[in-house]
Amino acid sequence: MLRKLVVVFSLAVLAVAQTQKVPPERLKAREWFQNAKFGMFIHWGVYSVLGDGEWVMNNKKIPISEYEKLAPKFNPTEYDPAQWVSMAKNAGMKYITITSKHHDGFAMWGAKQSTWNIVDATPYKKDALKMLANECKKQGIKLFFYHSHLDWHHPDYYPRGRTGQSGGRPENGDFNRYLDYMDAQLRELLTDYGEIGGIWFDGWWDRPDAEWRLNKTYSLIHSLQPATLIGNNHHRMPFEGEDYQMFEKDLPGHNTAGFNADAGIGQLPLETCETINRSWGYNSTDKQFKNTSDLIRYLVRAAGYNANFLLNVGPMPNGKIQPEFVERLREIGQWMQKNGESIYGTRGGPVTPRPWGVTTQKQGKVFVHVLDWPDELLALPKIANVKSAKLLATGAPVEWKEIAGGAILRLPQSARDPLDTIIVLETSR
């Protein structure tokens, strides 16, 4: 017992110490992030030309000399960032996280450190990220960059890690020089692209024992833009200097996809990401689209777990987003227009997630999201000071009866929404 108390106390001290070091503008940004709740993930790069996902180089063992031939074929003349941004906004998304560089090392902006980038290596020649950054600013949506630590293309990414072994790179290289290169890229992205909401790192897991100089990289980012949030998809508890914790293809605390064996849930803002079909980067044969209801229910569950939902699209090589994605985003947006009050600005509610659904809460309101009615009646544990219970959709009162240790909700079948019946409990605080 004493040991447990000491551990709890030390964790509390650590949490306070970490918060104390965080400047006010970043604390504000973290709060903004938690309120935003819903973002668009974009995986886009030269791999889209092959329509076989963003791992195609590794999975098909394509040597660098061959893979580089994709760049001259990448000419997204139909890329319209204004359309992308308004699509995200109409879906109810408040930020966009786009791949500045994925594991293939290809830079989607006019990077000065190498010609392996969209401006120098493709017939398109335009800086896709600059165009998107300008549009995000214009339409008032925050922009985050996904940046891969792991690099299958750079010769100095050496010793190599678990992946990217078939590129045909020399058996030598200077890892620190690679990190300098990556820091220089980040410096550029945080200097020339306006206000950046966050950097979403990925690929650390390729070399978990390497000296990644994270402190140096994180300090660089925060010195250039103190309010930029840092997240790292290392599938572990957050490291020092990070601002949010992400979960891939799983709700916090779950591990159905196999990424989160070592990830507990920390104190920082949370985010979970998911695909619409089964691919991140464009995949022309993947037709296993989740339906809109399931995507909305995932968003609702994420909110109940106190987490944001980052929903992915993988644009086509011509710059268009495929119609199956567009349709689902539009439908999610329609739902958010009506029910967003129970998602935006909320935190996980007083009742922890249950098999029947989740709760969210904000200023004097608890939203009970019943995703699967267990029965005619729904029993809830005690929620303090409930004044009234109403349907969010119509404002109609809902039968609410307090009993010893909790309360009972009753709602006739006809008043339920099979997607999500949202009951608003007004509480006096």
Contact assessment for residue 371 and residue 354, using Cβ atoms and an 8 Å cutoff: no
Q: Please report how many Cα atoms fall inside a 13 Å half-sphere around the Cα of residue 360, on the Cβ side.
A: 30
Quote the least distance from Cβ 246 to ligand FHN, whole Å.
Answer: 8
Q: Does 204 bind ligand FHN (CB under 6 A)?
A: no
Of the residues 52, 104, 242, 248, which one makes contact with ligand FHN according to CB under 6 A: 248
Quote the least distance from Cβ 198 to ligand FHN, whole Å.
Answer: 14
Q: Does 283 bind ligand FHN (CB under 6 A)?
A: no
Q: How many residues does the chain have?
A: 429
Contact assessment for residue 312 and residue 43, using Cβ atoms and an 8 Å cutoff: yes
- Order of strands across the sheet with 245-248? 229-232, 198-202, 142-148, 95-101, 38-42, 307-313, 270-274, 245-248
Question: Whose Cβ is closer to ligand FHN: residue 232's or residue 292's?
Answer: 232
Quote the least distance from Cβ 10 to ligand FHN, whole Å.
Answer: 30
Quote the least distance from Cβ 49 to ligand FHN, whole Å.
Answer: 16
Show the DSSP H helices in 204-322 as ranges.
214-224, 292-304
Contact assessment for residue 304 and residue 348, using Cβ atoms and an 8 Å cutoff: yes
C-alpha to C-alpha distances, 162 to 156, 204, 235, 259, 310, nearest whole angstrom: 15, 11, 15, 15, 26
- Read off the tokens for 35: 């309120």
The rounded radius of gyration (Å) of the Cα atoms in the chain is: 23
Bridge partners, residue 147, by sequence? 101, 201
Look up tokens 């005619």; give the residue. Answer: 376
| Stretch (H or E) spanning 400 | strand 399-403
Question: Whose Cβ is closer to ligand FHN: residue 278's or residue 410's?
Answer: 278
Q: Does 280 bind ligand FHN (CB under 6 A)?
A: yes
Q: Does 250 bind ligand FHN (CB under 6 A)?
A: no
Burial (0-12, 13-18, 19+ Cβ within 10 Å), 390: middle
Question: Whose Cβ is closer to ligand FHN: residue 164's or residue 319's?
Answer: 164
Of the residues 33, 49, 54, 305, which one makes contact with ligand FHN according to CB under 6 A: 54
Question: Whose Cβ is closer to ligand FHN: residue 310's or residue 380's?
Answer: 310
Quote the least distance from Cβ 103 to ligand FHN, whole Å.
Answer: 6
Question: Whose Cβ is closer to ligand FHN: residue 201's or residue 400's?
Answer: 201
Question: Whose Cβ is closer to ligand FHN: residue 74's or residue 335's?
Answer: 74
Quote the least distance from Cβ 42 to ligand FHN, whole Å.
Answer: 11
Q: Does 128 bind ligand FHN (CB under 6 A)?
A: no
Question: Whose Cβ is closer to ligand FHN: residue 97's or residue 185's?
Answer: 97
Three-class secondary structure of residue 411 per DSSP: coil
Of the residues 36, 229, 273, 303, which one makes contact with ligand FHN according to CB under 6 A: 273
Q: Does 122 bind ligand FHN (CB under 6 A)?
A: no
Q: Does 206 bind ligand FHN (CB under 6 A)?
A: no
- Read off the tokens for 382: 């005690």
Question: Whose Cβ is closer to ligand FHN: residue 199's or residue 366's?
Answer: 199
Look up tokens 């404002």; give the residue. Answer: 395
Q: Does 188 bind ligand FHN (CB under 6 A)?
A: no
Residues 214-243 that bind ligand FHN (CB under 6 A): 233
Task: Provide the phi-psi class of 61: left if phi over 0, else alpha when psi is between -120 and 50, else beta.
Answer: left
Q: Does 274 bind ligand FHN (CB under 6 A)?
A: no
Quote the least distance from Cβ 299 to ligand FHN, whole Å.
Answer: 17
In this structure, the number of other CB atoms found within 10 A of the CB of residue 57 comes to 29
Quote the least distance from Cβ 237 to ligand FHN, whole Å.
Answer: 16
Task: Provide the phi-psi class of 291: left if phi over 0, else alpha when psi is between -120 and 50, else beta.
Answer: beta
Question: Whose Cβ is closer to ligand FHN: residue 175's or residue 259's?
Answer: 259
Strands (E), 102-232: 142-148, 198-202, 229-232
Quote the least distance from Cβ 203 to ligand FHN, whole Å.
Answer: 7
Q: Interface residues with ligand FHN (CB under 6 A)?
A: 54-55, 202, 233, 248, 259, 273, 280
